């Protein structure tokens, strides 16, 4: 607005005028600030929503596999005798356990030496592992009389003792460096010849007794030559023996004190003998663990719902809305979660609704757990409780196992029919094997297993039987580095003197080929029969499946698309059904994953909001530039106007003065 200054005449307050005009011009900038603040609020709210969905997913993941819901607990009546753990597949029940022997390592002690650094002698030590049988052990001297020793095929190791290592400490280090399955140490007894070399087997069990043959200096032989069936220069202080126990009266012998296959799914860790005083082992369903998971399920849902409500709520009294009020993404997520929980499951068996598992919605929309109802369900049908929460496949045939499913697999019951069982590739000798293997003659084979090739060298010697030679072949092939790295293995056996080598894999990629001239001919004959394996074939849900090895997979486009089962044996024909379910927790976990994935719904929304904020910043910069130009223009225009008004005011003053002078002149004349 124009103002009149009493000191300078007629002038404009340009700064005030421009400031007021710019306040009007800046209104679009204020609207941009409000929009940005709204977007920032939504961006923060989506961060909170993402955290809520992530916490919800974590809780659902804990119940998405049957193993978490089928946990077992074990208890021993006397934990000093043994401890135990149970895994999937264990059968609840009570078992009696009586331990008569613990497995232990063999320990051999050499005669004392004056020094650990004095030269003893040079030569070659040959270590053989095997089993001592028969005879009598003098527990005082640690020496056997009348015993026999049977070496384990392929277990021989040679160690060279020369001027660089022919002291007691050098022999110890040479044995340890050979990694032959025995640990050497030196013990000082404080006597006149105090230093004793002690050899301790790395493994327990009766097959891990040691025989040491020595070629070379007599002093070295006198110290270390040891044959349980002959001359014994070492004293046995601990016998290599197997563990012996009875489970429900059945005698079991194991090489280790950890016994994992006596009771299906249960591992026993033996600690002490209890002859004639059996202890009991009880395996039960861990109902408390399932209850904890189910309560966690309810708590996670309730916490998720609370978070969503706070973000998307509207208070009619205060007329304030949450940052995600009327947000389509948040609303769709809440509806999807509630829809999953309210739906009836397919393929889950007895329990198809949450209410049957003791989980019910309250008036306020929260979930509440009825523990008694859940416990009854778990006690009645634990596998079906697991199927109601987790992703699960339950075959009715014991030799058909569920191996997996895809996102395209529909829940339901599918009949399985097998027209071809999977087989393994084999190479069968056409003649009786030559049991004499000679170095540089017939000891080196080129073996191809499932497309992987390696050179294999058999230990020279005359084998007692075709079975013994088959054991050597199996050991050497399975120890070849190329096969170990590729994860391929074989079994070797004999029939009427002929050797048969079988790949442990199944299907059309399973094959065994042996070459090597005289070596291969001596082992398998001139024309061995080589047979490639077959893939399993059959139908799932009356639709032809895709076979690979023992795995049969539902064909794409069918309801069983991606459903995979392993046919591990049995006959061709109808093989029962597989009930596949996508339980509540599994479905919710998958839903959460879709919202949380890098290209998921929440990420897309936050990316869109961030883009809008960036665009607002660009608009603000452009508007600020325009406002600067506008302000400059206003200042120029009003400064120019102010100058004109100043001139006009000067003219007015001059004219007024002239008029006043003329009036005074006229008055004086009168």
| pLDDT at residue 39, rounded to an integer | 87
pTM here is 0.71
Q: Quote the tokens at residue 379.
A: 């006690």
The pLDDT-based confidence of 408 (bands split at 50, 70, 90) is very high
Phi, psi of 625 (to 5 degrees): -65, -45
| Amino acid 4: pLDDT | 39
Average pLDDT of every residue of the chain: 91
Closest by CA position to 274, among listed 78, 74, 75, 76: 78
Q: In the CATH hierarchy, which top-level class contains the domain 426-531?
A: mainly beta
Residue listed under structure tokens 């056997």: 144
CA-closest candidate to residue 126, choices 182, 187, 54, 63? 182
| pLDDT tens profile 504-524 | 999 999 999 999 999 999 999
pLDDT per position as a tens digit, 56-95:
999 999 888 888 888 899 999 999 999 999 987 788 999 9
For the chain, the domains span 2-55+601-669, 72-102+244-285, 107-241, 289-397, 401-422+536-582, 426-531
pLDDT band at residue 663, thresholds of 50, 70 and 90?
Answer: confident
Band (pLDDT 50/70/90 cuts) for residue 550 is very high
Per-residue confidence (pLDDT) for residue 2, from 0 to 100: 43
First-to-last C-alpha distance (Å) of the chain: 45
**How many angstroms separate the CA atoms of 582 and 63, rounded?**
12
pLDDT band at 7 (very low <50, low <70, confident <90, very high): very low
- Weakest mean pLDDT among 99-108, 138-147, 277-286, 659-668: 659-668
The yes-or-no verdict on residue 119 having pLDDT over 50 is yes
The structure tokens listed for 362 are: 């309250």
The pLDDT value given to residue 6 = 36
DSSP string covering 287-320, please?
HHHHHHHHHHHHHHHHHHHHHHHHHH-EETTTTE
| Dihedral Cα 587, 591, 593, 596, nearest 10 deg | -160
* Confidence at residue 620, expressed as pLDDT on a 0 to 100 scale: 87
- What whole-number distance in Å separates Cα of residue 554 and Cα of residue 563? 5
Q: Tell me: pLDDT of 366 over 80.
A: yes
pLDDT tens digit sequence for 13-45: 888 888 898 888 888 888 888 888 888 988 998
Rounded to an integer, what distance in angstroms lies between the CA atom of residue 402 and that of residue 391?
11
pLDDT digits (tens, 9 = 90+) for 300-349: 999 999 999 888 888 888 888 888 888 888 899 999 999 999 999 988 78
What pLDDT digit, counting tens, does each position of 169-224 carry? 999 999 999 999 999 999 999 999 999 999 999 999 999 999 999 999 999 999 99
Q: Which range has highest mean pLDDT (109-123, 141-155, 607-621)?
A: 109-123
Give the pLDDT of residue 153. Answer: 67
pLDDT beyond 70 at 562: yes
Give the pLDDT of residue 349.
82
The pair of structure tokens assigned to 98 is 């009586």
Q: How far is Cα 628 from Cα 634, in angstroms, rounded to an integer? A: 10
pLDDT, tens only, 533-545:
999 999 999 999 9
For residue 670, the model assigns a pLDDT of 63
pLDDT at 493: 96
Residues 6+ apart with CB under 8 A from 29: 620, 623, 624, 627
Q: Residue range 87-107: average pLDDT?
A: 93
């Amino acid at each position: 607005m124009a103002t009149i200054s009493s000191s300078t005449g007629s002038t404009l307050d340009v700064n005030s005028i421009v400031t007021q005009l710019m306040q009007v011009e800046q209104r679009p900038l204020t609207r941009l600030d409000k929009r940005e603040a709204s977007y920032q609020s939504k961006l923060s709210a989506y961060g909170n929503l993402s955290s809520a969905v992530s916490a919800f997913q974590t809780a659902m993941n804990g119940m998405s596999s049957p193993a978490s819901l089928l946990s077992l607990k074990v208890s021993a009546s006397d934990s000093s005798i043994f401890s135990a753990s149970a895994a999937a597949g264990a059968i609840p029940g009570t078992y009696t356990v009586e331990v008569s022997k613990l497995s232990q390592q063999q320990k051999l002690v050499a005669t004392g030496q004056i020094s650990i650094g004095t030269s003893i002698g040079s030569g070659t030590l040959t270590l053989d592992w095997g089993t001592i049988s028969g005879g009598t052990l003098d527990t005082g001297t640690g020496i056997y009389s009348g015993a026999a020793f049977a070496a384990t095929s392929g277990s021989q190791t040679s160690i060279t003792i020369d001027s660089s290592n022919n002291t007691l400490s050098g022999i110890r280090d040479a044995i340890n460096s050979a990694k032959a399955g025995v640990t050497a140490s030196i013990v000082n007894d404080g006597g006149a010849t105090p230093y004793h070399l002690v050899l301790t087997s790395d493994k327990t069990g009766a097959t891990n007794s040691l025989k040491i043959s020595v070629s070379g200096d007599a002093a070295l032989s006198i110290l270390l030559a040891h044959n349980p069936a002959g001359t014994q220069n070492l004293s046995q202080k601990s016998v290599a023996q197997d563990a012996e126990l009875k489970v429900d009266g059945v005698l079991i012998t194991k090489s280790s004190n950890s016994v994992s296959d006596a009771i299906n799914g249960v591992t026993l860790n033996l600690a002490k003998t209890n002859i004639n005083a059996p202890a009991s082992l009880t395996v039960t369903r861990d109902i408390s663990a399932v209850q904890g998971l189910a309560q966690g399920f309810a708590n996670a849902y309730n916490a998720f719902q609370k978070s969503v409500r706070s973000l998307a709520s509207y208070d009619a009294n205060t007329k304030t809305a949450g940052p995600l009020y009327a947000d389509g993404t948040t609303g769709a997520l809440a509806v999807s979660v509630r829809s999953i929980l309210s739906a009836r499951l397919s393929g889950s068996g007895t329990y198809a609704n949450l209410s049957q598992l003791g989980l019910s919605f309250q008036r306020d929309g929260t979930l509440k757990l009825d523990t008694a109802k859940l416990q009854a369900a778990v006690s009645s049908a634990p596998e079906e409780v697991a199927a109601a929460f987790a992703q699960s496949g339950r075959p009715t045939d014991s030799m058909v196992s569920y191996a997996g499913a895809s996102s395209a697999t529909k829940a339901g019951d599918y009949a399985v029919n097998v027209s071809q069982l999977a087989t393994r590739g084999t190479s069968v000798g056409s003649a009786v094997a030559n049991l004499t293997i000679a170095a540089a003659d017939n000891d080196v084979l080129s073996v191809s297993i499932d497309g992987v090739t390696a050179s294999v060298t058999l230990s020279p010697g005359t084998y007692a039987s075709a079975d013994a030679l088959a054991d050597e072949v199996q050991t050497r092939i399975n120890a070849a580095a190329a096969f170990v790295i590729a994860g391929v293995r074989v079994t070797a056996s004999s029939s009427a003197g002929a050797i048969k080598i079988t790949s442990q894999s199944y299907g059309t990629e399973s094959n065994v080929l042996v070459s090597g001239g005289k070596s291969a001919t001596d082992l398998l004959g001139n024309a061995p029969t080589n047979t490639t394996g077959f893939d399993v074939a059959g139908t799932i849900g009356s639709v032809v499946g895709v076979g690979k090895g023992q795995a049969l997979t539902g064909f794409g486009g069918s309801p069983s698309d991606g459903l995979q089962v392993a046919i591990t044996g049995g006959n061709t024909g109808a093989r029962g059904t597989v009930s596949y379910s996508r339980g509540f927790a599994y479905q919710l976990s998958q839903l959460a994953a879709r919202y949380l994935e890098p290209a998921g719904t929440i990420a897309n929304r936050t990316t869109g909001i961030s883009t809008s904020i960036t665009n607002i910043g660009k608009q603000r910069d452009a508007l600020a530039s325009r406002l600067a130009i506008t302000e400059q223009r206003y200042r120029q225009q009003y400064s120019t106007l102010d100058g004109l008004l100043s001139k006009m005011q000067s003219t007015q003053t001059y004219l007024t003065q002239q008029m006043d002078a003329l009036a005074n002149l006229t008055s004086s004349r009168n």
